[in-house]
Structure 1
């Protein structure tokens, strides 16, 4: 019996939709059942973020999964990186996380993984889940699955701190942490109890999926203004901001500056090389040129990759790379089943900063040497045509097509690529001087808007 629902909720890497119209408990039931049957799962865990619709979704997913014959362990309110940890650490063969990450309050969604916390995308299983949920061609399970509950955050906290070479050597920092009313408000205390010398100044730790203070999307600087104020007023050594499901992390330095994901990638890359000398470190091609420079300077081998976790995680697995970072605040760790974790990235930053420089700005100064535009999104009618125009306009540079169009010059570069989910072009520009960056940015935008 076919089921009619809006299949546009299935995105490249996850499910996202508006609660009540696109995403209902009925749809969640179908997805839970299809996930187990299509991918042959037998023993899965399910967690959720703080969004009000999460409880009904959890109940519906659990019914669907157990009707399909899988045993379900509910791990309760959790961050996405803690769900990945649970799947890897306890040996589940699948996991479903109920979250819409940084999306506004009216949304909810699902992130999925198989054994060893391997994420699934439309190409690697999610398409089959969608098609089975729509067709309703479910087979009757030989037995109904069981439901149990497990507390995982204690073990998760210990796991995160294990990425610091010697926790006792972390300086007695004062850190403001902005959870944005998201899941970091729950997970931070479980981690920092193992770093008693660090004082945490909490901002918006109350779990509230209506996001009463600001959107839980710290990639936008305006959503870090409360954190900046707290760092400056409380004379903190640094600040950290997490998104809604707490898998992404951004830092604020002691002067209230906003070092971007590239700077954190370089810092965590260097910290990783102190643990694993001479290893490969992966960075996506939007990261600053300062990233491969820092990796090489510290004896590592930089590996340049496309953007997006479904491409990065398999590449890291294949080449046994201990760390990979993205400009967007996603950081991936081999000793974390190659899954991303903002919290582990923060731990490794504390490890490095405690050793290098008196202040955070001093510690990151070697990697903070250029000027970046940040990601500029523009709606376009024909993204492919615009990318061809960019390649033609900047044909005197060195061009490659690893991901969209990258044009390199000696003192600046640009990349323009398509969004996976919307009719957008994403532009990133970096220059050795602010003037070079702005000139390149404006020239590229003139082509895109023209």
Structure 2
């Protein structure tokens, strides 16, 4: 066993590949509140162990007591991979000579993003740190950047300091959320499109993954920038497997996970920051201007519902919209020319989740209300 000490989840993935390890364990509850803990398991090359890839077999062996005994005792060694990880991350940086140091507010949320501070400071940016004191009780706010309340301090600091960019980290820092220079949150699906465009400018013709909750604008933008969009169901195990299968360049999820071919096909939040910086430097534009062409449609945030009969609800929706184009890649996706929605069971909580997008805000509101009437009252919570 190799103990790498305190590490972000992406650093753990990197260590598995860099050290040629057979697998890895990251002790983390990710974005969950302080009272939770857990483990993320990986195989060689940072390939995921998940409910669809290994966990059932592991559960079966543990339950049956069918665990092999090693012929000889193992041993524990230690390894410091931080310097190698920093070199790896910074190798993606494309800061032009003489470029001004962008001012970036980074909210580490008292989580593991704190240990990436030397990497941020080596990027040639002016770092405005927020909550960089490591504290697993999360005294300032939960380390979940998808909850708007957790972004309020970051938004205020971006506006107060006149920063070019804001970055919010989750607990194990495998997710980044972005705030533009006006203090407006930028949807992670739209960031997927922006990063895809930046990477495709160097390597056109490659496959790019996006999760099925993403705006239609994302696939359109990928095509417009010379890429081949690939739609995938929600979840890192599915995204990583499909990215490998296509030898894809990049992939992104609405939850803020960003996957890179040249990072063992694993997600890496700090690499997403690097690519957004590359885009800002090379375009010479503000983030709000860069994302504007992707704001083509009106879209709801992901909305949660506690439903006793999930499968029955999905069948009811299929019957209600029988004239639509329907698929069941993940839950049910219902598509019309001027609007679409996805309703799917949560991978981590006892919920159904809805996203709805339409050509206009008025149509989106009407279809959203129609769907809520069919599904039931929404509740707070979510990934």
Scaled by the length of structure 2, what TM-score is found? 0.95
Contact 1:167–1:195 at 8 Å: present in 2 too? Answer: no
Which of the residues 377, 394, 401 maps onto 2:328? 401
Label 1:139 to 1:73 Cα distance change in 2 as closer, same or farther (>3 A): same
Name the CA distance, whole Å, in 2 between partners of 1:122 and 1:417.
17
Label 1:243 to 1:315 Cα distance change in 2 as closer, same or farther (>3 A): same
Contact 1:158–1:194 at 8 Å: present in 2 too? Answer: no
Contact 1:381–1:423 at 8 Å: present in 2 too? Answer: no
User: How far 1:77 moved relative to its partner?
Assistant: 0.6
Name the CA distance, whole Å, in 2 between partners of 1:188 and 1:444.
44
Which of the residues 171, 180, 202 maps onto 2:109? 180
Name the CA distance, whole Å, in 2 between partners of 1:169 and 1:443.
54
1:266 is aligned to 193
Name the CA distance, whole Å, in 2 between partners of 1:422 and 1:316.
25
User: How far 1:219 moved relative to its partner?
Assistant: 0.7
- The 5 Å alignment of 1:313-352 reads 313-352=240-279
Which of the residues 122, 125, 135 maps onto 2:54? 125
Say if 2:380 is the partner of 1:419: no
Label 1:106 to 1:170 Cα distance change in 2 as closer, same or farther (>3 A): farther
- Structure 2 residue runs of 5 or longer lacking an equivalent are 378-383
User: How far 1:178 moved relative to its partner?
Assistant: 0.5
Query: The residue matched to 1:255 in structure 2 has which SS?
Result: coil
Query: The residue matched to 1:355 in structure 2 has which SS?
Result: helix
Contact 1:378–1:425 at 8 Å: present in 2 too? Answer: yes
Contact 1:383–1:423 at 8 Å: present in 2 too? Answer: no
Over the residues paired in the alignment, what is the CA RMSD in angstroms?
A: 1.5
Which of the residues 156, 162, 169 maps onto 2:85? 156
User: How far 1:286 moved relative to its partner?
Assistant: 0.7
2:120 is aligned to 192
User: How far 1:192 moved relative to its partner?
Assistant: 2.3
1:93 is aligned to 22
Label 1:417 to 1:169 Cα distance change in 2 as closer, same or farther (>3 A): farther
Say if 2:105 is the partner of 1:105: no
Partner deviation per Cα, 1:110-131 (whole Å, 9 max, x = no partner): 0010110001113322222223
- The 5 Å alignment of 1:10-409 reads 72-166=1-95, 168=97, 171-189=100-118, 191-196=119-124, 198-409=125-336
User: How far 1:170 moved relative to its partner?
Assistant: 5.8
Label 1:212 to 1:383 Cα distance change in 2 as closer, same or farther (>3 A): same
204-213 vs 123-132, which moves further = 123-132
Label 1:415 to 1:272 Cα distance change in 2 as closer, same or farther (>3 A): same
246-255 vs 402-411, which moves further = 402-411
Label 1:139 to 1:400 Cα distance change in 2 as closer, same or farther (>3 A): closer
415-424 vs 236-245, which moves further = 415-424
Partner deviation per Cα, 1:334-357 (whole Å, 9 max, x = no partner): 111111111111111111122225
User: How far 1:250 moved relative to its partner?
Assistant: 0.4
Name the CA distance, whole Å, in 2 between partners of 1:300 and 1:241.
28
Contact 1:291–1:367 at 8 Å: present in 2 too? Answer: yes
Name the CA distance, whole Å, in 2 between partners of 1:169 and 1:294.
30
User: How far 1:79 moved relative to its partner?
Assistant: 0.3
Contact 1:176–1:236 at 8 Å: present in 2 too? Answer: yes
Name the CA distance, whole Å, in 1 between partners of 2:32 and 2:98.
37
Name the CA distance, whole Å, in 1 between partners of 2:70 and 2:253.
41
User: How far 1:449 moved relative to its partner?
Assistant: 1.1
Query: The residue matched to 1:443 in structure 2 has which SS?
Result: helix
Contact 1:161–1:167 at 8 Å: present in 2 too? Answer: no
Name the CA distance, whole Å, in 1 between partners of 2:86 and 2:258.
17
Name the CA distance, whole Å, in 2 between partners of 1:169 and 1:95.
40
Query: The residue matched to 1:346 in structure 2 has which SS?
Result: helix
Name the CA distance, whole Å, in 1 between partners of 2:100 and 2:360.
34
Name the CA distance, whole Å, in 2 between partners of 1:140 and 1:400.
46
Label 1:358 to 1:98 Cα distance change in 2 as closer, same or farther (>3 A): same
Contact 2:53–2:237 at 8 Å: present in 1 too? Answer: no
Label 1:346 to 1:144 Cα distance change in 2 as closer, same or farther (>3 A): same
Scaled by the length of structure 1, what TM-score is found? 0.81
Contact 1:391–1:399 at 8 Å: present in 2 too? Answer: yes
User: How far 1:442 moved relative to its partner?
Assistant: 0.9
Contact 2:96–2:281 at 8 Å: present in 1 too? Answer: no
